[in-house]
Every structure is written in C-alpha cells, then in structure tokens.
C-alpha cells in the first residue's frame, strides 16, 4: 500500500472517530424521566417475578407513561389505573399465536407487538387482578411442591365458570376431594408462592379467568389514543444483521447501524420534558458482565446462547466521571439489589452507551399518529 496515500486516510479516520466521540460526550446532557413533571414520574418499577413476560411489562409501562403524562382516563389519584402486564401477555399470545410459539405459553414476546395488543384490547387494571390473585395464592400457599404440581395440572382443566367466586369454590372442592391439603404448612412455601402463581398463569387455558373474570369491569379502552409503535432493529439496507465480535464489527455499514440506534435514543432524550421512555430488546448478560458482546449466532438464536434476551426501558442518561455517556436502564426485576456489573439503584442500572449498543436488538418508541 502507498504510505503517502494511506496517511491522509488514516488521519481522516482518526479525526472522524475523535469528532464523534467528542460529539457524543458533549451531547450527553443529564436527564431522568422519572423526575417530577417528566413522562415516567408516576410509572413505578415493575417486577416480572418468575414469569418471562418482560416484553409485556415494558409495553404496559410505555403506554401507561403516555396515559399518565397526558392525564387520560383513570390516571388521577387516589386510585390510578395501571396496566396489568399479566392480562396483556395473555391477550398478546392470543393475538400472536403461530408456529414459532407454544400455543399455551405466554412467556417470550416482542414489545411493539404487545403495544399493539394493548391498544386493541385495552388496559386491564393491575390492582384489580392482584387482589383476585391473592385468593388463588392463598390456595396455592397451602400446597407443598408435589401438590402444587397436581393443583396446576388440575386447574388447567377446570371448566370456565361464570364468576371468580364460583371458580374458586370449584377449585376448593377439587382440592378437598383429591386430598391436596397437607397436614401442616412448611415455612419454605412462602418463597414459592409467586413462582407457583406465575406457573398457573403461563397457559392460555386460563385466558378466560384473566380476561373475562378478573378484568370484567376493570378495563379501560385505549383505541382512542393517537399513538402508534415505532420499531427499529439492527438490519441494514441489505437485510444483514449487525454482527460484532468483541469490539470488532463485520464492516463499516454495520457499525453505522449501531450509531444510528444510539442517535435515535439520544434524539428522544434530547426532547427534555417532552421525552418519552424508550423500550429496548437486548442481551441482558451485559448487565452482569460489562465486557459481554453479542455475536452473529446471538442475533439469530438468542435463546441458545448466554445472551439472556430481555426487555427493558431507557429513561435517562448522564455523563460519568470518566467522560463516558451512560444510559439509565429501568429493569423489570423489582427494586431489590441484583449482581449488576454497573452502578445501580432501586431497579435502575447505569450502562455505558456503547456497551449497551453492542448488545441491542431493537429500539421501540411510542410516536404520535
């Protein structure tokens, strides 16, 4: 290679890289959408528990953020109506039942499709469902692990009843008849109550319980909202997936796709008080290992790698002490502490923007029609 010709090209590349890094750093103004008067002020951190429905938690929070920020129906205190991610997941699977999904399992899905289901079916009151679930939990609580399994199998085959009370009475009769009640309660059962309840509601056989019984009279129509879901993924113009191995991408075009997603994220956050939360689908492994990067296999088969495909939201950013721009990720694992490899607080994680971008699959936002 001609060194004289190569030198200007190298200098230009270094200049452009430096300019981009400087621009990214200079544009990283602090913002948090969960602060007063911002779009996430009244939307709480959620907890998916042992049920893999992160996608519906994010979709519900995106729409609730819009509802509360615009003071739409049933958002006023003292009893604001928050969307049930569980009911949404059931409707989502019913709407998107196909060859690629188990027809009984509501786990695993995509945020944008879940938003569409939510706008179609309306928002079922989370609090109303939670109160009714306590009745079912109280039954499950009395069962040890073996009896829990028998209870779940039995419950899936109970015929739909006209009311929840009738259904619960039927369940109690079956439990008594099959002698499922143990003679004493084991203290270890407490930690398994949530997972047992989640296991019950994984199947579409119980869709009528959730949608027709628990949500009866507790659903707010959303088809009037003038919003739609906008999705961007890591496919370039040639329909080739982004593939990064460590810090090296396959080609320059792919690298531009990473920056494009970051630019989209920053463009939303640059709106300040009018900014809306940003849904992301990504490899959650990066939360526990900041050096992790997905690869080409991960893109096509995320479930078969250590990627940990997951859904979360970006609701803020700040410039770290080292000058790097960090994005604030709100997770769906509750407010308790986890083994994150980043600074974290009450269900939120500060992740360096390029580390997050190298693990992104999709970016989802709500836009006005």
- What pLDDT digit, counting tens, does each position of 325-359 carry? 999 999 999 998 788 999 999 999 999 999 999 99
Region 160-187 average pLDDT: 58
pLDDT in the model for residue 261: 81
Looking at residue 79, the DSSP 8-state letter turns out to be S
Looking at residue 306, the DSSP 8-state letter turns out to be T
Decide if pLDDT at 49 tops 70. Answer: yes
The pLDDT confidence band at residue 22, using thresholds 50, 70 and 90, is very low
Flag whether the pTM goes above 0.95: no
Six-digit token string for 197: 């309840």
Question: What backbone phi and psi angles, to 5 degrees, belong to 172?
Answer: -60, -40
- What pLDDT digit, counting tens, does each position of 71-119 carry? 876 777 788 999 999 889 888 988 887 555 555 578 889 999 999 999 9
Whether the CA torsion 89, 94, 95, 100 is positive or negative: it is: positive
pLDDT in the model for residue 180: 55
Mean pLDDT of the chain: 75
Six-digit token string for 160: 């739909």
Number of C-beta neighbours around residue 291 at 10 A = 10
Decide if pLDDT at 277 tops 60. Answer: yes
pLDDT in the model for residue 287: 96
Q: Looking at beta carbons, which pairs linking 149-152 to residues 24 or more positions away fall under 8 Å?
A: 150/178, 150/180, 151/175, 151/180, 152/196, 152/199, 152/200
| Residue whose token pair is 């396959």 | 250
Region 218-223 average pLDDT: 88
Region 174-184 average pLDDT: 55
Region 226-230 average pLDDT: 80
Alpha helices in the chain (DSSP H): 3-26, 54-69, 85-95, 111-121, 126-141, 145-155, 164-177, 193-200, 207-208, 252-269, 285-288, 296-300, 353-357
53 Cβ partners below 8 Å, 6+ apart? Answer: 85, 86, 89, 106, 107, 109
The pLDDT confidence band at residue 280, using thresholds 50, 70 and 90, is very high
Length of the chain in terms of residues written:
369
Decide if pLDDT at 158 tops 60. Answer: no
pLDDT in the model for residue 224: 83
Top pLDDT among 145 and 51 is at 51
- What pLDDT digit, counting tens, does each position of 355-369 carry? 999 999 889 999 887
Region 22-48 average pLDDT: 85
CB 349 within 8 A of CB 287: yes
239 Cβ partners below 8 Å, 6+ apart? Answer: none
pLDDT in the model for residue 75: 79
Question: What backbone phi and psi angles, to 5 degrees, belong to 262?
Answer: -65, -40
Region 117-138 average pLDDT: 82
Region 284-307 average pLDDT: 81
pLDDT in the model for residue 336: 83
CB 353 within 8 A of CB 326: yes
Cα 152 → chain centroid: 26
pLDDT in the model for residue 15: 38
Alpha helices in 315-366 (DSSP H): 353-357
Task: Say how far apart CA 28 and CA 10 lie, in whole Å.
Answer: 27
Task: Say how far apart CA 40 and CA 276 lie, in whole Å.
Answer: 8
CB 335 within 8 A of CB 347: yes
Please return the burial class of 32, using the count of CB atoms within 10 Å of its CB with bins 0-12, 13-18 and 19+: middle
Task: Say how far apart CA 355 and CA 331 lie, in whole Å.
Answer: 16
Decide if pLDDT at 223 tops 50. Answer: yes
Region 197-203 average pLDDT: 61
């Amino acid at each position: 290679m001609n060194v004289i010709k190569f030198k200007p090209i190298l200098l230009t590349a270094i200049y452009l890289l430096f300019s981009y890094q400087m621009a990214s750093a200079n544009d990283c103004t602090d913002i948090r959408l969960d602060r007063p008067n911002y779009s996430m002020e009244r939307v709480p951190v959620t907890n998916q528990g042992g049920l893999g429905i992160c996608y519906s938690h994010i979709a519900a929070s995106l729409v609730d953020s819009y509802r509360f920020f615009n003071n739409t129906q049933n958002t006023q205190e003292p009893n604001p109506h928050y969307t049930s991610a569980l009911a949404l997941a059931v409707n989502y699977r019913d709407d998107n039942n196909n060859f690629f999904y188990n027809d009984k399992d509501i786990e695993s899905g995509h945020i944008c499709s879940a938003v569409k289901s939510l706008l179609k079916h309306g928002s079922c009151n989370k609090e109303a469902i939670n109160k009714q679930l306590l009745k079912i939990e109280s039954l499950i609580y009395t069962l040890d692990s073996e009896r829990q399994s028998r209870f779940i199998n039995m419950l899936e085959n109970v015929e739909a009843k006209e009311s929840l009370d009738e259904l619960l009475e039927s369940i109690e009769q079956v439990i008594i008849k099959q002698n499922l009640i143990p003679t004493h309660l084991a203290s270890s059962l407490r930690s398994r109550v949530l997972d047992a309840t989640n296991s019950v509601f994984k199947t579409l056989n119980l869709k009528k319980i959730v949608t027709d019984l628990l949500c009866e009279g507790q659903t707010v129509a959303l088809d009037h909202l003038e919003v739609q879901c906008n999705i961007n993924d890591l496919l370039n113009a040639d329909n080739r997936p982004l593939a990064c191995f460590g810090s090296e991408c396959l080609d320059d075009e792919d690298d531009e796709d990473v920056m494009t997603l970051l630019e989209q994220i920053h463009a939303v956050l640059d709106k300040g008080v009018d900014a809306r939360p940003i849904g992301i689908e990504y490899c959650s492994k990066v939360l526990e290992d900041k050096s992790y990067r997905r690869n080409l296999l991960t893109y096509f088969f995320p479930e078969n790698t250590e990627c940990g495909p997951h859904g979360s939201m970006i609701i803020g950013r700040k410039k770290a002490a080292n000058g790097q721009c960090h994005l604030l990720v709100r997770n769906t694992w509750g407010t308790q502490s986890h083994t994150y490899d980043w600074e974290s607080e009450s269900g939120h994680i500060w992740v360096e923007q390029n580390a997050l971008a190298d693990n992104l699959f999709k970016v989802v936002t709500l836009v006005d029609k």
